[in-house]
Structure 1
């Protein structure tokens, strides 16, 4: 990592190849104001799991730095001296963009969404506001990775914030509780018994078992019997994502 004469950050080596998983999320900060770019870089540096690899102050430089470093995420200003950030957004390849701008008119917000921005943050904003959106972005990436090669509709619904239909659940089961049990099982990283799931989720063992059995029927979890020295096998459940 080096700094140019303006004090901007530039990573010496290019980023990992496109598609390769990284332990951290690499960020390119784009803003026409040198000091603002530096402040935003400082905000990013405070969020665990994120690292700024470069900054840019024009649209042309933003595209050049994006091609050089292949960041995961670009914090993109709209008002740039040589072109609109919307044009930069259109030309970005293999990277996500979070728009950060003083532009608050609806056409600009709509066009940002059309061109693929993952979020839109209006200036001025606090470090906490940016950190919250960065964490949301990291969580979405984590969920995409955990889904596997094919997504089910409930996986997509969670990614897009669409509530699942209560009609799809058997009578007596709650969508909110089902989501809680599913998340508990997913986060466990291994198999759980109904009793263990109940304790982690704050439910009764009977309720937890009903939801676990439903998740198995739906193909989102699998039953893994554990055989002991005597008696019936213990029923264990594991997420299939």
Structure 2
């Protein structure tokens, strides 16, 4: 289980975020903090894997809290959840190495997708042996296999594209759009759009499965 600490000064908002997290398999909320000082104390005692961190706390700016956590030797990951849209805040979050930046307000699927992507990346990072692409990704701001946002058709997101491609590459068998949708947690129509995009840019291939009647089923596999 990935242990999560919710840090938000609004009790009701924190409760909503907690409810979102607890709906996702593989995650558990170990506590909620409403101030920076409380967060520091709870990180020290609870040792969460991930903080869902609001930037506007009554006693600290969230990114300053991250600096204090690192100075204290705490290595938990941080996913920023905030209303702050300023470029300086975003650049600061990138410099601090946060794993994501989600603007309020948001819907459950927005957080779910980021947490599932985080879980997959975390599992990969715990592997003893890394590929050259994964090693290169550790030294750049562009994770392995990620296509620039500008390379995706309008309406497709980088995060979901990563999840779809990961599902393809980790599957022992070819995937249909329906199977991919179930693995990623999106609709079949959306999965089909991402899969067809990967086919068009040469990162996936289509294999037809013929049944006794009707059209052949389109099944997808990642290209080496």
TM-score interval (norm. to shorter): 0.5 to 0.7
**TM-score when scaled to structure 1?**
0.58
1:128 aligned partner: 109
**Alpha-carbon spacing, 1:45–1:153, altered in 2? closer, same or farther (3 Å):** same
Q: Deviations over 1:118-169 (max 9, x none)?
A: 1000111111111111111011112223x42444125644844445xxxxxx
2:75 aligned partner: 94
Ranges in structure 2 where 5+ consecutive residues have no aligned partner: 148-163, 177-204, 209-222
Asked if the contact 2:82–2:104 (Cα under 8 Å) also holds between the matched residues in 1, the reply is yes
2:198 aligned partner: none
Aligned residues: 163
Asked if the contact 1:99–1:119 (Cα under 8 Å) also holds between the matched residues in 2, the reply is yes
Instruction: Determine helix, strand or coil for the equivalent of 1:55.
Output: strand
Distance 1:181 1:113 in 2: 24
2:118 aligned partner: 137
Instruction: Work out which of the residue numbers 153, 156, 162 in structure 1 matches 2:133.
Output: 153
Aligned pairs for 1:84-233 within 5 A: 84-92=61-69, 93-145=74-126, 147-153=127-133, 156-157=136-137, 159-162=143-146, 186-188=170-172, 203=207
**Alpha-carbon spacing, 1:162–1:70, altered in 2? closer, same or farther (3 Å):** same
1:56 aligned partner: 33
* Residue 64 of structure 1: how far off its partner (Å): 0.8
**Alpha-carbon spacing, 1:64–1:186, altered in 2? closer, same or farther (3 Å):** same
Distance 1:67 1:118 in 2: 20
2:44 aligned partner: 67
**Alpha-carbon spacing, 1:46–1:118, altered in 2? closer, same or farther (3 Å):** same
Distance 2:80 2:52 in 1: 6
Distance 2:36 2:10 in 1: 13
Ranges in structure 1 where 5+ consecutive residues have no aligned partner: 1-23, 164-179, 189-195, 205-213, 216-241
**Alpha-carbon spacing, 1:202–1:131, altered in 2? closer, same or farther (3 Å):** same
Asked if the contact 1:89–1:116 (Cα under 8 Å) also holds between the matched residues in 2, the reply is no
**Alpha-carbon spacing, 1:106–1:49, altered in 2? closer, same or farther (3 Å):** same
Distance 1:87 1:181 in 2: 35
Distance 1:197 1:131 in 2: 25
Distance 2:100 2:165 in 1: 29
**Alpha-carbon spacing, 1:202–1:115, altered in 2? closer, same or farther (3 Å):** same
* Residue 198 of structure 1: how far off its partner (Å): 11
Distance 2:175 2:82 in 1: 45
Distance 1:65 1:185 in 2: 38
Asked if the contact 1:79–1:85 (Cα under 8 Å) also holds between the matched residues in 2, the reply is yes
